[in-house]
Amino acid sequence: MPALAERLKNVSISASVVMTVKGRELAAKGVKVISLASGEPDFPTPPHAIEAAHQAALRGDTRYPPQDGTPALKAAVQRKFRRDNNLDYALDEILIGNGGKQIIHSAMMATCDPGDEVVIPSPFWISYAEIAKIPGAVPVPVNCPQNNGFRLRPEDLDAAITPRTRWVMLNFPNNPTGAACTRAQMRAIAEVLLRHPHVWVLSDDMYEHMIYDGFEFCTIAEVEPRLKERTLTVNGVSKTYAMTGWRIGFGGGPRALIRGMLTMQGQATAGVSTISQAAAAAALDGPQDLIRERQAIYKERRDLVVDLLNQAEGIACHKPEGAFYVFPNIAGCLGKTSKGGRRIETDTDFALALLEEKHVATVQGAAYGMSPYLRISYATDTASLREACARIQEFCRELR
């Protein structure tokens, strides 16, 4: 059999996908699994977005799309950036991709050479490091400890940047912790970045509308306009509008960067589904009331899950400012043995035993660069969350 590429040895499958698949395999056997592993809203896509897709199909909008996105969607994204983020991008400074992941992938491919470094605050979304490795870049994690609210300390960022640093990635509200930065905290990060003009900045704002308790979202190019000329602001419709399957992400950035990203995308997937783009434009331009409505529901779920997890023996759960994840510390459960006989030495052991014995799917913190934690998604219905937390409590009580 012919050989596969060496780069595959350095790129792994997402742990959240692995745990979701394991849960589905158990469910296929008739086991009642509650999955808290996937970062996918349980709400429906807005009806007006679906209707826009339907109308686009009916009028024959089913041909090859422009590779950088349809004029209608790019204009809607332009309005969104102005409305929500006080950022002005020309239409040729905006790129539409097959989800936010492709936007990030195209950025890394267009800018990184082997040996370049990509600084990533840790814990981090699994794919950041894996995407950076594909063009041969080296991920450089920077610890964001719980005693700092899982936020990035400016001095730690400064220490991590070297002459080989190509990118600094920012993701606040964060996956997996839900941590968000105040404007003052983002300003302090910006001051560090201003001292390193050779570094690109990526701001992944997918969870910008999932913030609670009056917290104000901010993005780096808005906080510090002098960074806009080297910042890629990434967003999409997947989380805010519950449109994960429509696969629409977008980025705003300097014209030269967007042009390079478009070259990469053009040789990978070319354009994005015209039907999905019509739906995304309708979501961005349509009524935004659902954002506040769902935000209130997510807050209730967050409060419920944090409270119930803190009642579990050996678990301490920090209350985050945003996203739809909690990242509980399970240090108090280590060194014990589950009722089913599995020795719990790591957070991976905990997650596997919890799935096998109590049929609750979570993801180990090790997959996100920090142990001993779990990532738990509360993007599911309240009854399932109550039942899952009850099972977790029972699992912890039975540890010996």
Task: Mark whether 19 and 61 lie in a shared domain.
Answer: no
Q: What is the pLDDT of residue 2?
A: 92
In a domain, 249, yes or no: yes
Q: What is the residue whose two structure tokens read 């041969």?
A: 136
**What would the two tokens of residue 8 be?**
């595959």
Cα 101 to Cα 65, 98, 204: the distances in Å are: 19, 7, 10
What CATH number corresponds to the domain at position 159?
Answer: 3.40.640.10
What CATH number corresponds to the domain at position 373?
Answer: 3.90.1150.10
Residue ending a domain, among 285, 316, 335, is 285
Q: What is the residue whose two structure tokens read 């996956």?
A: 175
**pTM exceeds cut of 0.85:** yes
**C-alpha angle 34-35-36 in degrees, rounded to nearest 5:** 120
- pLDDT tens, 65-104? 999 999 999 999 999 999 999 999 999 999 999 999 999 9
Task: Mark whether 134 and 257 lie in a shared domain.
Answer: yes
What does the pLDDT average to over 169-175?
Answer: 98
**What would the two tokens of residue 307 be?**
């409270």
**Domains of the chain: total:** 2
Is the four-CA dihedral 71, 72, 75, 81 of positive or negative sign?
negative
Which 3-state string (H, E, C) describes 23-53? Answer: HHHHHHCCCCCEECCCCCCCCCCCHHHHHHH
**Confidence bin at 361 (pLDDT 50/70/90):** very high
Strands 343-344 and 249-252: unpaired
Distance CA 219, CA 87 (A): 10
- pLDDT tens, 235-283? 999 999 999 999 999 999 999 999 999 999 999 999 999 999 999 999 9
Q: What is the pLDDT of residue 12?
A: 74
**C-alpha angle 167-172-177 in degrees, rounded to nearest 5:** 110
Is the four-CA dihedral 188, 317, 202, 348 of positive or negative sign?
positive
Residue ending a domain, among 258, 285, 312, is 285
**C-alpha angle 93-98-103 in degrees, rounded to nearest 5:** 45
In a domain, 140, yes or no: yes
Determine the structural domain holding residue 222 and report its residue range: 49-285
Task: Mark whether 261 and 343 lie in a shared domain.
Answer: no
Q: What is the residue whose two structure tokens read 């990532």?
A: 375
Is the four-CA dihedral 54, 58, 61, 64 of positive or negative sign?
positive
Task: Mark whether 62 and 196 lie in a shared domain.
Answer: yes
Backbone angles phi, psi at 48, to 5 degrees: -70, -25
**Confidence bin at 319 (pLDDT 50/70/90):** very high
**What would the two tokens of residue 27 be?**
């469910």
In a domain, 1, yes or no: no
Task: Mark whether 16 and 67 lie in a shared domain.
Answer: no
Q: What is the pLDDT of residue 19?
A: 74
Distance CA 203, CA 197 (A): 16
pLDDT more than 70, % of the chain: 99
Task: Mark whether 165 and 241 lie in a shared domain.
Answer: yes
Res. 27: pLDDT tops 80: no
Residue ending a domain, among 227, 253, 285, is 285
Contact 51/259 with Cβ under 8 angstroms?
no
Res. 22: pLDDT tops 80: no
In a domain, 188, yes or no: yes
**Confidence bin at 183 (pLDDT 50/70/90):** very high
pLDDT more than 90, % of the chain: 92
State the helix-helix crossing angle for 382-397 and 289-309, rounded to 10 degrees.
20
Task: Mark whether 69 and 39 lie in a shared domain.
Answer: no
Task: Mark whether 38 and 83 lie in a shared domain.
Answer: no
Task: Mark whether 54 and 39 lie in a shared domain.
Answer: no
- Per DSSP (E only), the strands in the chain are 34-35, 94-97, 117-122, 138-143, 165-170, 200-204, 231-236, 249-252, 325-326, 336-337, 343-344, 360-361, 363-364, 374-377
